[in-house]
Each structure stands twice: as structure tokens, then as C-alpha cells.
Structure 1
Amino acid sequence: MKYYNDLPEIENCDIVVGIPSFNNAETIAYVAEQAARGITELGLKGTVVNSDGGSNDGTREAFMKANTLNIPKHSLVYKGIPGKGSAIRALFEFAHKANAKVFVMLDSDLRSVKPWWIERLANPILSGKTSYVTPLYVRHKYDGTITNNICYPLISVLFGKKIRQPIGGDFGVGKELIDVYLSKNVWETDVAKFGIDIWMSVTAVVESSKKPVQAALGAKVHDVKDPGKHLVGMFLQVVRTLFDLVALHLDKLDKFNEIEQTDVYGSQVQEKVEEIVIDLENLKNRAKQNLAERLHSLDYIPKAITGKILSTGKLTAEEWAEVVFESLVLYRKNKDEDIVMNLLPFYFARVAGFVEETFDLTSEQAEKVIEAQLEVFKTKKTEYAKRW
């Protein structure tokens, strides 16, 4: 099945670099040009492909005007539910049709991508070491709040692989895994939206015959969003997908009692990251207001925790981990989407707590707080495993 508009016959190639987009006219040409340089430097036969969600700002036109150094480029209009996952599904199909040895995915809003990113994301697959490469960035302490507070700790403790950026947006995927992804009947779910990255990562961990590898990519500079203002939809789609994956693979969780380090390809480049400012008072107020509206359906959460949010608007790592596991256990039993909706005020409160805890810390120092939170999740997993 084709998941995109008709194109001329697709030629076989070694590598496809795919760029999903929606209203990214200002940045997509730069991403395409860096991708083409990376393909050229590798000496591979490749193609750069854009999969667009109906942009109205000239994104596709900007992409097609990019100087890709005689590397062929195509712009697709994908079919299916509007969302990032549907765009990527079309790119998977394109890579499959091109019989590509490796597919590399880049976010369309990147301002820090370099040509050598292509080698870092592709070479571990081309060398046969892995079928899945995740990014490892240098990031500001307040960037990636969904990753830091739920995706990273849960994948680590439940699936036994320490993957620092499982929803980072820039990935390498081998032919074997593309076939696995295209075979799944998930494209009418949140996987078609922002659930795609976490689904790709967990599926790679559970179903690939090879262990994932992380590619050291230096700093990620992109369009940063304030968690209290812009990330509600993304949070819900990512967490619902993650909870569904936990329920799907429940029979495998007992074997992941230890957390394995994931190999890193390349030396990390220590680059300066952009400063990120989070509206702390807005986060606290959103936590209090959102919780007050949903309090009637939160009898499964200890009153000490809900009372703390109503008075302070923030949570500790221990309180947050308890709420996540209580929610996960309940969701596994009845798949009620309101359980994920109910997590929102706790997420706002935990981010607010993290901001206060790390206000005077560097991003490197704040990373130790994130690692300490992971250890809290590990302890909570032991407590809650009996209730799976």
C-alpha cells in the first residue's frame, strides 16, 4: 500500500533521509541541504525525502528549492490521520520501495544538524551492529521534559535499556526494522501522531534481534516549547502510546530486571545549548487548576499528593513516580484514556518541582537529578510489579 501521493518510479538506493514536516518553511531547506552533504560525504547513493502534512507556509516549495548537491529529492503528501506518525509511515514505505539499506529521519525544525549526523545515525546500521540508532544530544536542562520525566525512566526500568532520548526525533532505522514497522496495525492510533517515536523505540527494543545504539550528536537546537503552554497534546499521545506498549508487552517485563547501558557511537561534541526559560508560575497554576477540575476522578491517588499540588503546585520525584505507577497499573486493567488525561496536572507539578530543584544548577548538574529520579522509578517498579 502507498501512504503518499503518486511519484515517478523510485530507484533503489543505499540510504533514504526522511524529513516529516508541517509548516517548517524557515528551517526545512537547511535540514535538507545538510542531509545531502552527509550522504555525499559518505559516498552513498541516496535520496532526501520530505513527507508533509499539508503545510500552508510554503514548506514543500522551500524543500524543493534546497541545494541538495545533485542528490535526488522528493516531496510527498502523506495519507491517513494527520500527524507526525502518518508522515513517517509514508517515509518508511518510500525507503522500503527504494530497498534502502538504512533510513535516517531528521526533524524539520532543526537548526543544529550537521552533515556528520548522517554518518553517526547510519553507520552503526550499515556496519551490521544494530538496526536502530537513537540520538544522544547535549540538551538544556529544561528541554525534553516529557522524555526526562516519563519516557526515559519508564523505558529504562520496564524494558531494561537505558536509552536517553527515546523520543528525540532523529533516528536511524535498518531495513529489517522498517519491515516490522510497516507490518503493524497501529496507524489509526496515537502512533500516527506524536506517539510514533516512543513506539519506534520500544518496538525496536522488544522485537529487533540487535540492541539499539545511541549516536552522539552534540547540541540539538530546534523550536523549543514550554511544557505548560504547548505540550499537552504531545504528552497525551506519547503517554497513551507508552502505556499501551507496556500493556502489550506485559509478559516480557519480568525479564527486564536489570538496566543495560546502551552503546554510544562517536564522541560527544560539547556544544553550547540555547537557554530555555520556563514559565514556572504558569506551570504551578496549571497544575492546581487542572487538578481541581479532575479531582472527582482521582480517588486512586493518595490525598497527601493531591493536597500538596493544590497547595504548592509541585511534586517531588518520589511523588511523581508513585502517581505514574498507580496510573499505569490502573490503565493496564481498563485502558481508560481519562487515566492519562488525569496525569496532566501531575506532569505540570513535577516539571515545576524539577525547575525549582535545579534552578541554580548547570545542565550537567541537573542531569544527576534526572538520573536520581530514574533510580526512584526503579525502586517503584519493584513495589508495583506484584500488581501487574
Structure 2
Amino acid sequence: MSGLKNDSYDIVVGIPSFNNRSTIKHVVEIASKGLKEYFPKMRSCIVNSDGGSSDGTEGSFYSANSMGLDLLSFKYTGISGKGSAMRSILRLASRLDARAVVFLDSDLRSVEPFWIERLAGPIIDLDASYVAPYYIRHKYDGTITNSICYPLTTSLYGRKVRQPIGGDFGVGREMIDYYMSVPEETWNSDISRFGIDIWMTTSAINEASGKIYQAALGSKIHDVKDPGKQLGNMFKEVVGTLFDLMEKYHRKWEAVSGYETAPVYGDVVGGEAEPLQVDLANMMGKCYDGVRTRLDFSESVLGGEITRKLSTFSKENAMVTDDLWVEVVYRISSAYRRRELRNKLIELLVPVYFARVADFVTRTLEMDQEEAERETERLLERFVNTKEELRKIWEKNTR
């Protein structure tokens, strides 16, 4: 069955994709089971917004057993990237007058039917505006989240959301309308690429009148990536968007102290995280090469003391402590308002991020998941407790 038979639907499950033939069928079938089991009286459909896959993703999508639910696959238009795919789904959901959109990554192997209830339930039953995922992940999976997005977003906006860029979200009508109301030029940026998740979460924290929940989903098993080999471009797009939003919402975050945890919906599910190997030598080598060619620029932005610390790195020893990492993030995020420097600032931050991850990996090699999580929480508290330093640096760069 293909095509949408109704003019309106209560729940739209949206799956962005690009060359995901081997996994998307499974995601569709599990989503169908979840919709049938938990929302049997709701009008529901599953849509795939594809980036021009050449591996037969669309055929795999339509071959899934949807249990009678309507399926629609289409190729999105606009800037190539995940954000454009998700925007197309939101636009369709708006036209269909949907009460909730559930986004699922197309490479998921751990998705379960109850995920649909956890992501849509707070919206349908509790009038939530937004639902972020709450996963169990390997201690080295999600290093962009753990190093900067999670601790900095919590510190800035006072809302503790563990996975602000998790990929699987529930979006209520209020936020569907908001995302569709932003000017067209807003989409001509990294939010049309990998910046979409942090933009959606940060916007919800600052714009939603309804509650924000976290959905207990258990383990996330997907196509994991080595930070030093596969996450450089993603880091630039995600963190560039995060810093851009700091300027937009600076009046709000300047007034925030402390934080509260967004409530978790559903019992926390146990599970085993998928193993992930990290190439430490590669990360430290990339840090050394990336920093040593930018020392003059580093001194102009980060100052002499921090630059001297960075200049002592070697290919065999390039690691950044929590304290140094927080200082660097504060200075670069504050300078990011200078649009002519943005590319150079992010290009400097990427190798420092590699060194920050190298330090974390080295310290936690013998730690289990729970112990490593405590290290991430310590970094969060460091951001929270030194927020006044950020305010001072921000104010100084405003003059």
C-alpha cells in the first residue's frame, strides 16, 4: 500500500533517509506495530523523506509490512541534508493537521514498538510540546552530545535534556507550527543539515509554552561513528548552530541560573550499549596537525595562556582537560558573533574537540558505562558552575 488516502492524520511518523535500504524496512515495520498497538484509534501514516538514495531505499520502504497503515515516500527539495528532509516532513504534517510527528532515524536497529508510545504519548495524552529521547548509549557514542551540546545547553537554558541531538523526537502541534513559521532564510544554514536537531531542541526549550519531556527508550543501536574519523563535518554544523542560537537567545540565557531536569516519560529501560572502538592516535594526530597551523589565530581569540597550552601538544600527546575545554568553548562561542570569523573559529575548535575526546577516552578506558556517565555529569557541573565566566567574556566581546 502506498500514498496517503486521508486529508488529515493524528500521528505522522517521519523517517529521513539517504541510502538506508538495509535498515529502513525494519524501522517502518516496528513503527507500524507501535502505532497499531498503542494508538489503534488514531489516524496514522508513515512518511519517508529521502535525499536521493541510489541504493533502493524507496523500494525497501514500500516493501515493509505496514499493517494497513498508509505509506508515502518522496524526495525532498532544498539544501541537501537531514534538516531539509525533516523540514519536508514537518511541512507535510502541518498540511495534514497532525497532532504529533514522531521522527525516527532510518538506521535504527534497536527501535521497538514502545518507542512510538514514548515519543507520541506525552503529546497525545499530556499536551506536551516536545519530546526528546533518553537513551542508553556506549560511553564513546555521542561525543558531540557529551562534550558540548548536553552540558552547554543545560547550563545556558536551565533545562536538562540528556540527548538534545538524539535524532528521534516527538513534536507536538505547537512546535510544528513554530518550525514552519520561521523565515525561509533561517533554513539557508546548517539547520538544513546536521544542525537541525540542536535547533529543534533549543527552539522548543525557549519557545514552547507546553512541557518538554524525555522519552525513556533504552539502548540506541545504530550506525556508530568514530569521532576522529567521521564526525568533523557534523561537529561544525551542530556546534555552529548551537553558537548561533546563543546569540539569538542571549537575553534569556543570561538570566538563567541553575537548571531543572526535563521529566522522563516511561520507566527507564535497561539494555546493553553497542561497542565502539575509538582510534586515539588518529584523534591526537588530527588535533596536533589542526592546532599547530592555527596558533597565531588561536592567540588572537583564546589568548596567550591557552594558546601556550595548546602549543605543547604532540602527535602522541594531545589531550584537553575539562577545565581547559570549558574555557575554549566560552571564548570561541562568544567570538562566534563575528560572522567573518565563524569558519576559522569552528576550524580551530574541531581539533580541540578531538583532544577533549582523547582525554575523556583515556580517563575512562577502564570505567564501565555508569562511571563514565559520572564523568560527563562532572563536565556539565563545570559548565553550570562557571557560567558567570561566560557572561563576562560575552559582555567583553559585546563592547
Question: TM-score, normalising length from structure 2?
Answer: 0.93
Structure-2 residue corresponding to 1:362: 368
Task: Indicate which of 333, 342, 352 corresponds to 1:346.
Answer: 352
Cα offset for 1:296? 2.7
Partner of 2:129: 131
CA distance in 1, matches of 2:388, 2:312: 25
Deviation per CA, 1:206-241: give whole Å up to 9, x if none.
000023100000000000000100011100000110
String of CA shifts for 1:87-120, please: whole Å, max 9, x gaps. 0000001111111111000000000000110000
Contact 1:121 1:133 in 2 (8 A): yes
Number of the residue aligned with 1:90: 88
Q: What's the CA shift for 1:377?
A: 1.1
| 1:18 to 2:11 alignment | no
CA distance in 1, matches of 2:292, 2:188: 32
Measure, in 2, the Cα distance between the counterparts of 1:72 and 1:309.
56
Change (3 A) 1:320 1:27: same
Q: Which residue in 2 is equivalent to 1:330?
A: 335
Moved more, 266-275 or 293-302: 293-302
Q: Distance in 2 between matches of 1:23 and 1:293?
A: 36
Once the two structures are superposed, residues 242-277 of structure 1 have per-residue CA deviations (whole angstroms, 9 ceiling, x without a partner) of: 000001111111221121111000111111111111
C-alpha distance in 1, partners of 2:393/2:274?
42
1:217 aligns with 2:222: no
In structure 2, the residue matched to 1:4 is: none
2:119 corresponding residue in structure 1: 121
Percent of aligned pairs sharing the same letter? 47
* Displacement of 1:294: 2.1
1:307-339 per-position Cα deviation (integer Å, ceiling 9, x unaligned): 243472111111111100010111134462211
Normalization by structure 1: what TM-score? Answer: 0.96
Q: Distance in 1 between matches of 2:55 and 2:232?
A: 24
1:100 alignment partner in structure 2: 98
Q: Kindly provide the amino acid, as one letter, of the partner of residue 30 in structure 1.
A: H
Which 4+ stretches in 1 moved above 6 angstroms?
A: none
1:178-222 Cα distance to aligned partner (Å, 9 max, x none): 010011122110000000000000000000002310000000000
Partner of 2:286: 286
The CA deviation string for residues 331-351 of structure 1, in whole angstroms up to 9 with x for no partner, is 134462211121011000000
1: CA distance, partners of 2:129 / 2:337: 29
Alignment of 1:1-388 (within 5 A): 11-41=7-37, 42-43=39-40, 44-185=42-183, 186-299=186-299, 300-301=301-302, 302-310=306-314, 312-334=317-339, 336-337=341-342, 338-388=344-394
Report if the CA contact (8 A) 2:136-2:270 is conserved.
yes
Tell me, which stretches of 5 or more residues in structure 2 are unaligned? 395-399
2:397 — aligned with what?
Answer: none
CA distance in 1, matches of 2:28, 2:312: 48
Give, as a single letter, the amino acid of the residue that structure 2 aligns with 1:356: T
SS class of match (2:272): coil
The two structures, once aligned, show a CA RMSD in angstroms of: 1.3
Aligned to 1:3: none
User: How many Å separate the matches in 2 of 1:8 and 1:210?
Assistant: 30
Task: Provide the rounded CA distance (Å) in 2 between the counterparts of 1:303 and 1:187.
Answer: 35
